[in-house]
Amino acid sequence: MSDPPPSGAAVIAATLATLPASPGVYRMLDAKGEALYVGKARALSKRVIAYTQPARLPERLRRMVSETRAMEIVTTPTEAEALLLEANLIKRLKPRFNIVLRDDKSYPWLMLTEDHPYPQIAKHRGARERKASYWGPFASAWAVNQTVTAMQRVFLLRSCADTVFAARTRPCLLFQIRRCSAPCVGRISEADYAALVAQARAFLEGKSGAVQQELAAEMEAAAGALEFERAAAIRDRIRGLTQVQASDVINPASLADADVIAVWQAAGQSCVQVFFIRGGRNNGNRAHFPAHSRADGPAEVLAAFIAQFYDDKPPPPLLLVNQTLAEQALIAEALSLKAGRRVEIAQPQRGEKRAVLDHAETNAREALERRLAEAAGQAKLLDATATLFGLPAPPRRIEVYDNSHIMGTNPYGAMIVAGPDGFLRAAYRKFAIRGPLTPGDDFAMMREVLERRFGRAKREAEAGGVPDLPDLVLIDGGAGQLSAARETLAALGMDAIPLVGIAKGPDRDAGREWFYMEGRPPFQLPPRDPVLYFLQRLRDEAHRFVISTHRAGRSRALTTSELDEIPGIGAARKRALLNHFGSARGVRAAGLADLQAAPGISREIARRVHGFFHPTEG
């Protein structure tokens, strides 16, 4: 019998023998090959050797070392590049022993196009594929929409898409309310519109004072030429510009482009608040709640947050922080390397910048207090749920299942997950029902969903893994659904998982739900019971998710047809055929001459389509 593979400190010691004394990143992997921890080092061999002596490590790191089954090493030219790679890997792999920025969503930007004679101003997310200038980021869609509206009011730039612009024959409502100069119908020349664009660029670059002086000079010139209507229009633009400048909550004169970042800790949790200052204007703020252990202090959390936060966005020239970071110079060097220019990290102690930082810190504290209050309320509901269903402890993971179909077509199942932190949307799953089953057989659909979900968990456990199993399963349905679910779990050897069916009353009224459990008669809760509201919310979220999944699947099905099976027929030709003949059936019935007459269809393509539907014709 062969010896078991080495693990823990032995794996690390074996890796250490081949480690260089150069900068790089190391990953500790568990039995499933998933990352437990990602770290960086100036000298890999000197850093990793500490893990070969678990007795000197904190309990959390001892547990990490004990679970380690392999290590992966990547060397880098400098420690700053190692820091950037470490942040990228942590953000992508989300190792459970690292501080992880788990709720980082994409940020919107303001876009001014450069591929049209009359540039468009609009909100933008995603890849920057279009030739344009971009300003941001903005903390929210609301913040960027407010800026777009202000830019329309002050600079009269169009926000419509190019297709809408090309199809206009008369000015739209935005022209009537003085928020667009109507270049689509020639109400302004290309040169005059370009002047408006230049003013808008200057404003976005922080030169609002120069723009205001220019507008004031234009207004005086118009008044001097007795063009009072034009002077009044320019006056309204100046007023709008003044309102934009005065509307910022934080608008310090000493800050042009900077991010204000403050962390606050309480009850073992952290909130990091980020304010975006661009061009001297406040682009809004957003709260983040990184995942970390209770032993991680605010400075450690903030350092890890900053490295991961700028992994997919350019850092501004200045970061104001409320904690002294342990490797502040290294982080600044890494961000400078990423930005291609100098990035400074500062912790002001007095003056206007300190006031801005204090404001961000206050926002972080208040956001964390709200989150803790919500978590406390959630904990009470989970306690009450455990009491209601006779669970041994408050459930850490609740899974809720629902199905959706229309007369048996496009059937889908869905699973949503909830716990002490609310809905865990990253854990949601959708299931396209494969069958075979009788159309509309809800029991068979539920069996398939549960077999796939828990069958996978069983295989994972048999392979030595530790699957995420629920403490409570809720099924949308009554006694029949409960029985089908119970049989499925029993067949998989998982009948110990508590299972509850939730069925609406005879009139489908919310508040009159019946609860079904094995070994108990069906029961109801008082109409205003907080636990009833909680369980309704779970059930409704599962219903919402499965309906949206079903609609998306049905939409995809509607866009597929027999034309997809014809070689050489891509999306453009398929669209041309469907637009001309109205449906795939119309294409099938069309003669060769009719197909050749369709726009965008060559003689060769027409023969190919006709031959596909009529293979026996010569």
pLDDT score, position 473: 96
Give me the mean pLDDT over the 518-541 stretch.
Answer: 90
Cα separation, 559 vs 575, in Å, equals 10
Question: Residue 390 corresponds to which tokens in the numbers above?
Answer: 């006779």
Cα separation, 99 vs 109, in Å, equals 27
3-state secondary structure of 25: strand
Q: Select from 3.30.420, 2.170.130, 3.40.50, 3.30.70 the CATH code of 258-369.
A: 3.30.420
The CA-based angle 240-243-249, given to 5 degrees, is 150
State the burial class of residue 32 (Cβ atoms within 10 Å of its Cβ: 0-12, 13-18, 19+). exposed
List b or e across 508-531, with b for residues whose CB sees 16 or more CB atoms inside 10 angstroms. Answer: eeeeebbbbbeeeeeeebeeeeeb
- Give yes or no for residue 554 having a pLDDT over 60: no
- Give yes or no for residue 3 having a pLDDT over 80: no
Read off the pLDDT of residues 301-324 as tens digits, 9 standing for 90 and up: 999 999 999 998 899 999 999 999
The CA-based angle 354-357-360, given to 5 degrees, is 155
Confidence bin at 38 (pLDDT 50/70/90): very high
- Contact call for residues 302 and 321 (beta carbons, < 8 A): yes
Cα separation, 476 vs 412, in Å, equals 14
Question: Residue 154 corresponds to which tokens in the numbers above?
Answer: 């002050």
- The amino acid sitting at 575 is R
φ, ψ of residue 19 in degrees (nearest 5): -80, 135
Residue of higher predicted confidence among 567 and 258? 258
The CATH architecture to which 9-79 belongs is 3-Layer(aba) Sandwich (3.40)
Cα separation, 407 vs 582, in Å, equals 25
The residues of the chain that CATH labels 1.10.150.20 are 562-613
Confidence bin at 87 (pLDDT 50/70/90): very high
Output DSSP code: residue 518. Answer: T
Closest CA to 156 of 139, 172, 140, 133: 172
List b or e across 98-107, with b for residues whose CB sees 16 or more CB atoms inside 10 angstroms. Answer: bbbbeebeeb
Q: Which of 165-169, 230-234, 453-457, 520-524 has the lowest mean pLDDT?
A: 230-234
Q: How far is CA 163 from CA 98, 114, 116, 123, 124, in A?
A: 48, 16, 12, 17, 17
Closest CA to 206 of 256, 150, 274: 256
- Contact call for residues 300 and 360 (beta carbons, < 8 A): no
Confidence bin at 470 (pLDDT 50/70/90): very high
pLDDT score, position 211: 75
3-state secondary structure of 178: coil
Read off the pLDDT of residues 332-388 as tens digits, 9 standing for 90 and up: 999 999 999 999 999 999 888 898 999 999 999 999 988 888 888 899 999 999 999
CATH of domain 398-556: 3.30.420.340
The residues of the chain that CATH labels 3.30.420.340 are 398-556
pLDDT score, position 605: 86
Q: What is the 3-state secondary structure (H, E, C) of 284-351?
A: EEEEECCECCCCCCHHHHHHHHHHHHCCCCCCCCEEEECCCCCCHHHHHHHHHHHHCCCCEEECCCCH
The residues of the chain that CATH labels 3.40.1440.10 are 9-79
Place of tokens 């109801």: 524
CATH of domain 562-613: 1.10.150.20
Question: Residue 604 corresponds to which tokens in the numbers above?
Answer: 């060769």
